[in-house]
Amino acid sequence: MNELLETEAIKHMRTLGAGYLDAGDYRALAELYTSDAVCEFGPYGTWDDQSTFEGAFREAEAPFTTAGPYSNLHAVVNHIVTLGDDDTATGLVYLLDFVTGDQMRPGGNPLYWLGIYDEAYRKVDGHWRIARQSLNFIWPERMLNDGFLERHANGSTATPTPPDGDRTSDLEAIRQLSARYARGLDAFDMDGLLEPFADDAVFDASPMGLESYSGMDALREFFGHNQDVMADQMHLFSNFIVDFDGPDDAHGSNYLLQDGHNKDGATVKCFCRNDDTYRRVDGRWRIASRVISPLMPPQLESY
């Protein structure tokens, strides 16, 4: 239970940070960082003096906030937290950065950046703080910091062990399955994306106009096609509902936003609902089945 509470405290701190950024409360945002924090923000530079973070955030956000607070929005999702020893932890967080007004991209597209934060945390005076924050830009221009793929792609990242405990711990472990699946899928890491599934899992994409796939070999073939045709992609999961059917079985649903481009540059996009069943196997929760259905007409012509 303590691991779950620490994980949730880190996630809450990061959500607060996004709220402070959108509200223009840059002083409160800067206080979420350790005194020796280092931030790598690509085109916005590398920051290593926490006392200057308030002004640095204000300057970076100035072009996007001419209409005042909440004129751009930072959605942080798919948060994976790995607790370490001695009050330290690491994490990955997906970013969707939306803008309004004259900062929107051509065609009125409010999506300005897609990115992934690679982070380290440290507890200071009983509170979790950000010690390192490395923002890797995925779209519209791919700008990855040194070592990001080596640390997190192609099976190089160890899978965190779900905490022991009551149903609350089980719930968090089940939510982590989709986050780990998304990390593997978007990193083109076959072993990583398949790890959350049971060996006999069913992945039913027939409501999307595709096929239903049963068993690990069939899933590997389906996702092999994904890796063959896609150039970049991002999968964001939210709106989790989980109901337990027994000590080692559960079912639920979640929403998926997928966006990306095939190798010819065409957009592949879908807004979907997943209906899942889950099963605990050898002490670890796994996805036993997933049925993916469109909530809006998908753009799959180029897939």
Q: What is the mean pLDDT of residues 204-212?
A: 93
197 and 70 assigned to the same domain: no
> Mean per-residue pLDDT for 27-46?
94
Which pLDDT score, from 0 to 100, does residue 156 have?
A: 54
Tell me how far apart the alpha carbons of residues 194 and 191 are, in angstroms, rounded to a whole number: 5
pLDDT in tens, 228-256: 999 999 999 999 999 998 888 999 999 99
Judged against a pLDDT cut of 50, whether residue 158 lies above it is answered with no
Tell whether 162 is covered by a domain: no
**8 and 103 fall within a common domain:** yes
Same domain assignment for residues 186 and 114: no
Same domain, 184 and 280: yes
| Assigned domain for 245 exists | yes
**208, burial (CB in 10 Å: exposed 0-12, middle 13-18, buried 19+):** middle
Establish if 159 belongs to a structural domain: no
Clarify whether residues 139 and 215 are in a common domain: no
* Residue 256 maps to a domain: yes
Per-residue confidence (pLDDT) for residue 215, from 0 to 100 = 95
Going by pLDDT thresholds of 50, 70 and 90, the confidence category of residue 257 is very high
| Overall average pLDDT of the 279-291 stretch | 94
Q: Looking at the structure, do residues 199 and 68 belong to the same domain, yes or no?
A: no
Q: pLDDT for 49-107, tens place per residue?
A: 999 999 999 999 999 888 888 888 999 999 999 998 779 999 999 999 998 878 888 88
> What is the separation of C-alpha 17 from the centre of its chain, rounded to a whole number of angstroms?
16
Are residues 214 and 238 located together in one domain of the fold? yes
How confident is the model over 108-123, as pLDDT tens digits? 889 999 999 999 999 9
Q: Does a structural domain hold residue 190?
A: yes
Does 109 map to a domain? yes
User: How does residue 303 score in pLDDT terms, banded at 50, 70 and 90?
Assistant: confident
CATH number reported for the structural domain that contains residue 98 in this entry: 3.10.450.50
Domain, as residue range, for 41:
2-152
The answer on 172 and 147 residing in a single domain is no
Local structure of 157: helix, strand or coil: coil
Q: In terms of pTM, does the model score above 0.75? A: no
Same domain, 122 and 16: yes
Question: What gap in Å lies between CA 195 and CA 227, rounded to an integer?
Answer: 16
Per-position b or e across 284-294, b if 16+ CB within 10 A of its CB: ebbbbbbbbbe
The side-by-side arrangement of strands in the sheet containing 212-214 is 212-214, 197-204, 284-294, 267-281, 249-262, 230-246
Whether residue 72 sits in one domain with residue 20: yes
DSSP 7-72: HHHHHHHHHHHHHHHHHT-HHHHHTTEEEEEEEE-GGG-EE--GGGHHHHHHHHHGGG-TT-TTSE
Residues 182 and 275 grouped into a single domain: yes
Domain total in the chain: 2
Decide if 158 is inside a domain.
no
pLDDT at 166: 57
Q: Mean pLDDT over all residues of the chain?
A: 90
CB 199 within 8 A of CB 191: no
9 and 126 share one domain: yes
CA gap 123, 6 in Å, rounded: 10
Q: How confident is the model at residue 165 (pLDDT cuts 50, 70, 90)?
A: very low
Residue 164 has pLDDT above 80, yes or no: no
Judge whether 258 lies within some domain. Answer: yes
Question: What's the whole-number mean pLDDT along residues 16-34?
Answer: 95
